[in-house]
Amino acid sequence: MHENSWVLRRGVHNPTESTPARLPYSVRRTTAVHILRPDGVDGPLLLKGSGRDLGTHGDGSPVQFDAVDSAVEVDFVEGRMVVSANAGKSGPDLTALVGTRAGPGFRSALVATLCDDRQEHSLLHRVLDDVPVATVISGYALTREDPAAVDGVVPRSGAAARADYCAGFVTGGVFIGGIEANGVAPVVIGPLAPDIVRGQDPLGWHGMDDLPAKGMRRLRRIDVHGDGDISVDAMFRDSYVDGIGVETVVHEYHLGLTARADTLEVVRAAATPHVLPWPECSSAVEAVDRLVGMTVPDIAPLVGAEFRGVVSCTHLNDLLRSLQDVAELGTKLAFLHRCHP
């Protein structure tokens, strides 16, 4: 260990082992963003997105509502600027995103670019909405590729300036304390990643490429089912594959929510952290209680305006924001109930 090392306490390390079975009369949205540097650490960051909306009829038969692919290239070294973007041959023109920063302002530019989307919270919008966060977490791969990571610490300039930015960065916590003790930020190597994509159900997830060495991936799944009330099971996982092909989990959260089908009023909400780097991160789940009594469309504005500082987790906030997709998925669920096969 580093000669002045902070006593490193890790956060929760309990990744899920599998993906739940698809239920009759349900809709499942799965997305993936592969975070790659095919030309090495000094080359562009390539974000390859994919996703699918799959319904399951009452008799268990599937119906595919939508499928998308995208590719966004980011100049990570020079300002994190988008240098190319496309949504495949059949997708909309994304050239308006070129020249935007893959950070603050990107999501506003995305809304303007997809203004002709038939649905406000389309599958493609969800995949591309992950560009800013995928760009941020891509830095984890750089820390793992630094030889100092084997000692649990690597240099990260400017990290201390973000004290109290979120629950995991609270003053006196493991992350900020590690910087104060050593002058460098600690790095946690997460638990081994159980394969949740290739399970007994070949339709459990959409098809996607294997993750190469030194690549990262953000997986998302959101299931909706029910009739009088809509039950929501949502999750995301960030993972990294090291130079010898071992995949470990960086972040993983799950969220259970129940909303009224007619008004989308939330009657139950509970978040469960499965993998987080620092022990202080998990305290942010208490904020989820505030969702009860709200409507699903009001969640994202509330999170953006008020879920900040040491009572918040940026990764949990991101999961909560994705709940805006429930409105569109609910219309697809209603279609299944009308069909009755």
* Per-residue model confidence as pLDDT tens digits over 77-128: 888 999 999 998 888 999 999 999 999 999 999 999 988 665 568 999 999 9
The answer to whether residue 228 is domain-embedded is yes
- Tell me, yes or no, whether 208 lies in a domain: yes
Q: What is the mean pLDDT of the chain?
A: 88
Q: Has residue 151 got a pLDDT over 60?
A: no
Residue 86 contacts residue 116 (beta carbons within 8 Å): no
Q: Does a structural domain hold residue 79?
A: yes
Pairwise pLDDT comparison (5 vs 128), residue with the higher score: 128
Is there a domain that residue 16 lies in?
A: no
Range 312-338 average pLDDT: 91
| The pLDDT value given to residue 339 | 80
Residue 322: inside a domain, yes or no? yes
Three-state SS annotation for the chain? CCCCCCCCCCCCECCCCCCCCCCCCEEEEEEEEEEECCCCCCCCEEEEEEEEEEEECCCCCEEEEEEEEEEEEEECCCCCEEEEEECCCCCCCCHHHCCCECCCCHHHHHHHHCCCCCCCCCHHHHHHHCHHHHHHHCHHHHHHHCHHHHHCEECCCCHHHHCCCCHHHCCCCHHHHHHHHHCCEECCCCCECCCCCCCCCCCCCCCCCCCCCCCEEEEEEEEEEECCEEEEEEEEEEEEECCCCCEEEEEEEEEEEEEECCCCEEEEEEEEEEECCCCCHHHHHHHHHHHCCCEHHHHHHHHHHHCCHHHCCHHHHHHHHHHHHHHHHHHHHHHHHHHCC
Per-residue pLDDT band for 157 (boundaries 50, 70, 90) equals very low
Confidence grade of residue 175 (pLDDT, cut at 50, 70, 90): confident
Q: How far apart are CA 182 and CA 177, in angstroms?
A: 9
Q: Does the global pTM surpass 0.75?
A: yes
Question: Does the structure show a pLDDT above 90 at 247?
Answer: yes
pLDDT score, position 192 = 96
pLDDT at res. 3: 36
Position 18 in a domain: no
> pLDDT band at 162, cuts 50/70/90?
confident
State residue 81's pLDDT score: 95
- What's the pLDDT at 146? 58
Question: Is 321 a domain residue?
Answer: yes
Whole-number pLDDT of residue 227: 81
Question: Which residues form the domain of 176?
Answer: 26-339
Counting residues of the chain whose pLDDT is more than 90, the rounded percentage is: 64
Q: Is 11 a domain residue?
A: no
Q: What pLDDT was estimated at residue 319?
A: 94
Q: Please report the pLDDT score of residue 203 as a whole number.
A: 97
Across-strand partners of 63? 55
pLDDT at 153: 39
Q: How many domains does the chain have?
A: 1
| Phi, then psi, of 198 in degrees rounded to 5 | -100, 95
